[in-house]
Amino acid sequence: MKKTIQILQAKKGVEKITAITAYDALFANLFDPYIDIILVGDSLNMSFGGNQDTLSIGIEKMIYHTKAVCKGSKEAFIIADMPFGSYQSGDMALKNAVKIYRQTHADAIKIEGGIERSELIRHLVHEGIGVIAHIGLMPQFARFEGGYKIKGKNQEEAKKLLDSAIALQDSGASMVVLEGIQAKIAKNITENLKIPTIGIGSGIHCDGQILVWSDMFGFFERFEPKFVRKYLDGSSLIKNALQTYIQDVKTGNFPSLEESY
Ligand code: KIV
């Protein structure tokens, strides 16, 4: 059954929501039957594009990858990230979100930012765009903030996060991603919202969890954040298989008669 926002919201307090990123049809197709949400995250600019941060990806590339993910997926709820610089005003955000909606089958778009995004999100929701908010550690702000900083470390930050989450909910956001937030602060936010929270590096109390696929399957070797659990040693598996292939080619063991026409 196709996952809708109504189905996902009904899981709050009943059953945890599962989410993962994907950037292409191949992996979307693998994840789709099992997972609630697939996020076409702008993290693809780092793990797929080899860049230092998420800032340089534009709307056209996000649309290209979202189209591919939608082609590979039947049931999961698909979220497309709005890239850096694509939602600097309400009208710009609407124009780009409509572009994503028209050109892909994404079910919602995701926007980074706190209380200051409330009006912009209200504007999008009013025009029929599903919006997922994203607060806490916001990778699009990492350059400005001088790195990837955990949030909610003092009372002022904790209050700001809670106020933001409530304002974003009130402006019509369907869910909120909580990234890099102290677990007890994420718990308090989760308990004070009617909409689900999806955590990444924000502890166990969120309504759901998301991980970047290449991190959790051990393919992204550049750095390993504390919050990532490696469910597969993907890069070792690939390297070993590749070496076996190279060996087989060099020794004439591949292709065999059965693998030839
Ligand atoms: O871009 C991304 O993959 C994300 C997740 C880290 C939530 O925004």
Catalytic annotation, residues: 179
Non-local (6+) Cβ contacts of 28 within 8 A are: 22, 38, 68, 69, 70, 71, 72, 73, 76
Look at residue 90 in the predicted model and tell me its pLDDT.
Answer: 97
Question: Are residues 53 and 143 in contact, defined by beta-carbon separation less than 8 angstroms?
Answer: yes
Q: Please give the backbone phi and psi of residue 59, each rounded to the nearest 5 degrees, phi first.
A: -65, -35
Task: Report the C-alpha gap between 120 and 142 in whole angstroms.
Answer: 21
Q: Do you find a cis peptide bond into 255, omega within 30 degrees of 0? A: yes
Look at residue 230 in the predicted model and tell me its pLDDT.
Answer: 95
Residue 212 CA to ligand 1 centre (angstroms) = 7
Look at residue 220 in the predicted model and tell me its pLDDT.
Answer: 84
Q: How many CB atoms lie within 10 A of CB 193?
A: 20
For residue 5, give the nearest of 172, 193, 202, 168 by alpha carbon. 172
**82 CB within 6 A, ligand 1:** no
Residues of the chain falling short of pLDDT 70: none
Q: What single DSSP character describes residue 108?
A: E
Look at residue 221 in the predicted model and tell me its pLDDT.
Answer: 79
Non-local (6+) Cβ contacts of 145 within 8 A are: none
CA distances from 47 to 203, 224, 234 (A): 23, 12, 14
Per CATH, the number for 5-230 is 3.20.20.60
| 37, 43, 55, 112, best to mutate for ligand 1 pocket (most atoms within 8 Å of CB) | 43
pTM of the full predicted structure?
Answer: 0.97
Query: Would you report the helix, strand and coil content of the chain in percent, each value rounded to 5?
Result: 40, 15, 45
**62 CB within 6 A, ligand 1:** no
Look at residue 224 in the predicted model and tell me its pLDDT.
Answer: 80
The pLDDT tens digits for 204-239 are 999 999 999 999 999 987 778 899 999 999 999 999
CATH 3.20.20.60 residue ranges of the chain are 5-230
**210 CB within 6 A, ligand 1:** yes
CA 106 to chain centre: 13
**234 CB within 6 A, ligand 1:** no
Residue 240 CA to ligand 1 centre (angstroms) = 29
| 18, 39, 137, best to mutate for ligand 1 pocket (most atoms within 8 Å of CB) | 39
Residue 57's DSSP bridge partners are none
